[in-house]
Chains A and B, each alone.
Chain A
Amino acid sequence: MATSPEFMIPRGRFWQSIRGKIVLLLLVLLIPTVLVQAYSFHDQLKASRARELQANLELARAVAKTFESFVQDVLHQELAIGLAITSSRPMVPTDIMRLLEKSQQGYATVRDFSWVEPDGVFRHSSNPTMLGRNNRDRAYFRDILSGRQWTVGELVKARTTGKPVFGISRGIRDESGVLLGVVVATISPEQLDSVLSVERGKGGGLALVDHKGMLVYRYPAIDVSWEEREWLRQYPEYVEVFKGKEITASVYAGYEKRRRLVGFTPISSIGWAATAGRTEEVAMAAITSTLLTQTVIFLVINLAAFGVALLLSRSISIPLKRLRDHALAIGRGQGGEPAPAVGPAELRELADSFNSMAETLRSRETSLLEAQRRLAAIMDSIADGFYTLDREWRFTHINDAALAYFGKTREEVAGRSILDVFPGVAGSVFETAYRRALETGESQYLEAASVVTGRMIEIFVYPGPEHLTALFRDISERKWMEEELRRSRDELERRVLERTAELVNANKQLGEKAALLDLAHDAILVRDADEKLVFWNRGAEETYGWSESQALGKPVRELLGTRFPLPWEEIKATLLKEDGWEGELVHTAEDGRRVVVNSRWALQRDGSGRPVGTLEINRDITGRKKAEDELKAYAERLALINQELEEFAFVASHDLQEPLRKIKTYGDLLQNRCAPCLDDAGLDFLERMLRSADRMRRLLNDLLQYSRVAAKQEPFKEIQLGEVVREAANVFEQRAGGLIEIRKLPTIEADESQMLRLFQNLIGNALKFRGAASPRVRISAKCDHKGECEIHVEDNGIGFEQHYAERIFKPFQRLHGRDEYEGTGMGLAICRKIVERHGGNIRVESEPGKGSTFIIRLPVRQHGPEERH
């Protein structure tokens, strides 16, 4: 899918796509829902928290109330104790002691009750360890001294135990207000459980804090040091509380390292504060877990809905995508299947209308192509030449007629400039006409000799916005006919002038004309519309043997037994169409001779154009035809004989080698084995025999080579002559040490091994017939535009008289004795044979003492399949 066009949409354009839009739409729907849900959860959390805080505050208030009433209770007891001790009937110490102890037993929370003298000394106490202690310096005592009726003291460390305690003290005064003593209840905060404990759920707690901000009591109890009891310092909320405000807050509890939701309330009658709180985590656990579950359900449902919506959206986006791909394919010109009608109804309709649109488009394209094709066919079928050129003068279209007229193939001209294809156009009247048409925008008409064929043509040049259109036809015939017409008209005028005279001499002239026709050697005959002979001249009589009276009125084809080169219907059609026909016919004469004639026909029509007869002029070419046929047969026979001769030479020279080899080998054996049995003469004879055998072998070899040129030929292929000549020269350079200079040589089509032999022979020759000077051979070439190359092999050797120039190319011809120069006299004959097989020729220019130049003409290309001669 990585290559799917869907993923080819650039990232930035995703939101522009249909899928992007659908995703956007879903997001627009989903985000508010999520926000509302989130707000609702937040609200529930907040409310739940507020409820928890309120509950804690109320609990704190209850604690404050309970503690106040506890304090009031203790104060009442102290008043009772004080009044008893200071009653008018003073109590004995033992009774006081009992009273205090009894009071203490009634209050589990009170550690001890004591009676303190106004000087601060503990006089009586339920706790003996307290006796004698002086508490004058304590704040509560000073408060009482200064007139306060009662006080609840701050938390202090007990002098005896070090444990935190606080006191509830009440001053006892007489009617005049004189302090008689103070009743002090010492309270261990841990004992307050029985008064204040409220069993709460997990994480719940309550606390009392004295007016200095010290933690007095905590339920459930916590293990804290004295310094850690300084809650005012840890919880700044108490500042406000001590000003008399109730507060709810979430605070961080250092002792349990958690946040707690706490309600604070002042106990204003005492100046203390009461608090109740719960660990936030615990308090909110229930609601949090509920909300969490809800959130999860909500998210799952929403995501599922989102996914389903996306899936559903594919039923829109996929058909659309297919439709788009299809449109792109049609845009690229790939028709193929119609777009599938799937998806929602609107898309199906869209696909249907798209398909019908594509169909219309296709059919329009088809008809356009058809029209184009038809137009091209029309252009090609018109007999006139037609072509178009673009602004660069290049052919953009050319019809068959024009190609045929110019003798070019479509490949030769297509896309090329007319100036390149026909260089003669440059500077011609045609170029002027093209330019004028382009400059003026007006069509041009021109009659001129074609620069290609030299025949008269008329040409119309029509300028277009991007091209030139040219329409031309050969009018040389028409020109000629116009000329003829003009001449005929002049003739007619002349005749009108001479009419009287003609009329006078009519009979005589008629007679002369008939006589003229009779004088002609050609057979002239006229046949009427029914193919019956109506005219038969003397030439016809001589050609065929029948006299005029025998021939007239006879059906011509039956009389002459005419054999046509084409079906009669075709000839007749041509005759009717062109008013004439020309071709070779075979007739049978009266004596049964076969007569081959060159026959020219002219159709005669009456005033209304209806054919009335045919004039036929037949020239007897039987003799010429026979000579031609004989020549052809002779040439064929000659070629056959030639071929047989070559094959004979090949086989003969091949088979003659065999006995010769034996002569040589046995001679050799004789020389090896029997030398002692022979005298000097015998040895000399043997020597001569072996030399002759050797020479015979060379002759046969050369003869074999000579016949091989035609008998064992390889196909022509393109070869680089330079390389072949270099290879040929290599052999000699290593041996003879002359200077062989090879100029630039062309690439031609030839038989490579034969070319190698040709140049080996020529270079070998040049080196062999060396003069006094060090031998030099130069091989050079020049090629002409007619596709022929002339190769010169030039030497500075001994040369020869020019009149031998032809003789040396004949087999076994030599100009020198074998003693002077060895060789068989076959080398140059082989050369000529090779060159002729390649359709070229070889000749030589030489002068004694001045060296020779061999001149080879070879075509660059070999035409068609090779013929064997």
Chain B
Amino acid sequence: MRGKDGPAVLMADDDVEDCMLATEAFEASGAAGAFSCVKDGLELLEVLSERAGSVAEELPRLILLDLNMPRKDGREALVEIKAEPALKHIPIVILTTSREGRDMTFTREAGANSFITKPDTFDEWVQIMKSLAQRWLAE
């Protein structure tokens, strides 16, 4: 975790390589703010509830959520965040390898803001981060 104010983007993904790629791509995109990773849904919820309890400004402005994770997967985490009044306003973008229609339907109905399949090239990663920053982090 970087910066005292907490990250602008918080990514939950058990895949360390993807986390690295996303961080690299976020920096390469030139977007402002910090980017941070947690490794599963449980950790994500711990971080979020801790911040919500202390200083609300430290809550992330965007959550990137993988679906298939150990301990607590993205679907459960999504449902729990959206059920928590202090957290439900944070936009959540699903970033996964899945292309399953039922995953898209489920997450949309559960309140996810967008659904992105992980890209094959680094250029695409950068492109995705750029548009996410424009859409969700712009003042």
Contacts and interface: CB of A to CB of B under 8 A. Distances in A.
Interface string A628-669: 000000000000000000000000000001100110111011
A666 B125 CA distance: 11
Interface in A647-695: 657-658, 661-662, 664-666, 668-669, 672
A666 B17 contact: yes
Nearest to B97: A658
Interface in B96-126: 97, 118-123, 125
Contacts of A697: 120
Contacts of A669: 21, 24, 122
B129 to A, nearest CB: 13
A664 B17 contact: no
Given A661-B97, A662-B17, A668 B118 contact: no
A665 B122 contact: yes
Contacts of B125: 665
Contacts of A662: 17-18
B56 to A, nearest CB: 36
A661 B96 CA distance: 12
Interface in B23-52: 24
Nearest to B17: A662
Contacts of B118: 661
* Residue from the set A658, A665, A672, A697 with the largest chain B CB neighbour count within 10 Å: A665
B97 A665 contact: no
Given A669-B21, A669-B24, A664 B97 contact: no
Nearest to A657: B97
A658 B18 CA distance: 11
Nearest to A694: B120
Contact of B122 (A657, A658, A668): A668
B108 to A, nearest CB: 22
A665 B24 contact: no
Contacts of B17: 662, 666
* Residue from the set B97, B119, B122 with the largest chain A CB neighbour count within 10 Å: B122
A661 B120 contact: yes
A668 B97 contact: no
Contacts of A668: 120-123
Nearest to B98: A654
A158 B18 CA distance: 151
A352 B18 CA distance: 95
A669 B21 CA distance: 9
B91 to A, nearest CB: 25
Nearest to A659: B17
A653 B90 CA distance: 36
A657 B125 CA distance: 17
A665 B119 CA distance: 8
B88 to A, nearest CB: 31
A697 B119 CA distance: 13
Nearest to A661: B120
A326 B121 CA distance: 86
Contacts of A665: 21, 119-122, 125
B119 to A, nearest CB: 7
A791 to B, nearest CB: 30
B55 to A, nearest CB: 35
Contacts of B18: 662
B89 to A, nearest CB: 32
B3 to A, nearest CB: 24
Contacts of B97: 657-658, 661
Interface in A682-719: 697
Nearest to B126: A672
A625 to B, nearest CB: 47
Nearest to A662: B17
B117 to A, nearest CB: 10
A672 B24 CA distance: 12
Contacts of B21: 665-666, 669
A658 B66 CA distance: 14
A666 B118 CA distance: 13
A662 B121 CA distance: 9
A594 to B, nearest CB: 51
Contacts of A661: 97, 118, 120
A131 B122 CA distance: 162
B123 to A, nearest CB: 7
B43 to A, nearest CB: 22
A328 to B, nearest CB: 60
Interface string B78-101: 000000000000000000010000
Contacts of B120: 661, 664-665, 668, 697
Contacts of B123: 668, 672
Nearest to B121: A668
A666 B15 CA distance: 14
Interface string B59-75: 00000000000000000
Contacts of A666: 17, 21
A668 B125 CA distance: 11
Interface in A168-204: none
Contacts of A672: 122-123
B95 to A, nearest CB: 13
A380 B119 CA distance: 70
Nearest to B125: A665
A455 to B, nearest CB: 56
A665 B118 CA distance: 10
A708 to B, nearest CB: 12
Contacts of B122: 665, 668-669, 672
Contacts of B119: 665
A676 to B, nearest CB: 16
A661 B17 CA distance: 11
A672 B119 CA distance: 16
A669 B123 CA distance: 8
8 contacts: A657-B97, A658-B97, A662-B18, A664-B121, A666-B17, A668-B122, A668-B123, A697-B120
Given A665-B122, A668-B122, 16 more contacts: A658-B97, A661-B118, A661-B120, A662-B18, A664-B120, A665-B120, A665-B121, A665-B125, A666-B17, A666-B21, A669-B21, A669-B24, A669-B122, A672-B122, A672-B123, A697-B120
* The 6 A-B residue pairs with the shortest CB-CB distance in the complex, in nearest-first order: A668-B122, A669-B122, A668-B121, A662-B17, A664-B120, A665-B122
